[in-house]
Amino acid sequence: MNQSLLNYEELSTLLEQHNILTDASEVHGIFCGMLSGGMPLESQDWSTPLNDSINQGDSLPQKVQEQLTVLYNNTCQQLLEADFTLNLCMPDDSAPINERGKALINWVQGFMLGFGFHQADLTACSDDVKEALEDFYEISRMDETMPENEEAERALFEVVEYVRVSCMLCFNELGHSADQAQTEPKTVH
């Protein structure tokens, strides 16, 4: 994510100021899940399911909607990058490890929710995607209390990296863009 435009703390604070009981990591997870589950990148149909999920179906305040649009557009751009630049919207590395662990759990729970909005049939998914989703389920149930030590830092880093790569795997297999929709029917086998 372009850190100069928006970061976890700013977006989480904005959501809190508008009495939206979620954080930036969960919202980002929902976006990544929707896109990885097959919602077309150019779609702006994310507002209604997101409003239902995080704001009891009410419309989001304009400032929140604007910032979430920035986050959504940045997420789409990152998922399309060939060099795997997806950055999970999470607290800075200087934040306490348990805060980062909780944000990761929120991100994964958001991903699973967003993925479910667009991908109900997993029978056509590869074994890798099925395994990643099973792992995400387990991660979402992790005990968030971690010791403040180097071993826990390494473990959290590895899990964050696994989640990031698994998200891109799901997107690469199931995600859609306008270019794909136009080129797929023209393919001759």
Instruction: Tell the burial category of 162 from Cβ atoms under 10 Å away from its Cβ (0-12, 13-18, 19+).
Output: middle
User: Is residue 3 included in any domain, yes or no?
Assistant: no
What residues form DSSP beta bridges with 40? 176
55 falls within a domain: yes
Tokens encoding 147: 């010791």
CATH number of the domain residue 95 falls in? 1.20.120.740
* % of the chain surpassing 90 pLDDT: 65
What value does the CA radius of gyration of the chain take, rounded to a whole number of Å?
A: 16
What's the rounded Cα separation, in Å, for the pair 2 and 110? 20
The per-residue DSSP string of the chain comes to --TTT--HHHHHHHHHHTT--S-HHHHHHHHHHHHHTT-BTT--TTHHHHHHHHSTTPPPPHHHHHHHHHHHHHHHHHHH-TT---------TTS-HHHHHHHHHHHHHHHHHHHHHH----TTS-HHHHHHHHHHHHHHT------SSHHHHHHHHHHHHHHHHHHHHHHHHH-B-HHHHHHGGG---
If pLDDT is split at 50, 70 and 90, which confidence band does 188 have?
Answer: very low
**Residue 122 structural domain:** 8-186
CA atoms of 61 and 65, how far apart (whole Å) = 6
For residues 109 and 136, what is the distance between their CA atoms, to the nearest angstrom? 8
Is the model's pLDDT at 181 over the cut of 60?
Answer: no
Residue 1 lies in a domain: no
pLDDT of residue 23: 94
The answer to whether position 108 is within a domain reads yes
- 99 is a domain residue: yes
Residue 63 lies in a domain: yes
Percent of the chain with pLDDT over 70: 89
**122 is a domain residue:** yes
For 103-122, write each residue's pLDDT tens digit: 999 999 999 999 998 887 88
Q: Measure the CA–CA gap between 63 and 113, rounded to whole angstroms.
A: 24
62-84 pLDDT, tens digit each:
999 999 999 999 999 999 987 77
Residue 152's pLDDT band (cuts 50, 70, 90): very high
Instruction: Flag whether 49 is in a domain.
Output: yes
| Number of domains making up the chain | 1
The closest alpha carbon to 64, from 77, 78, 49, 54, belongs to 54
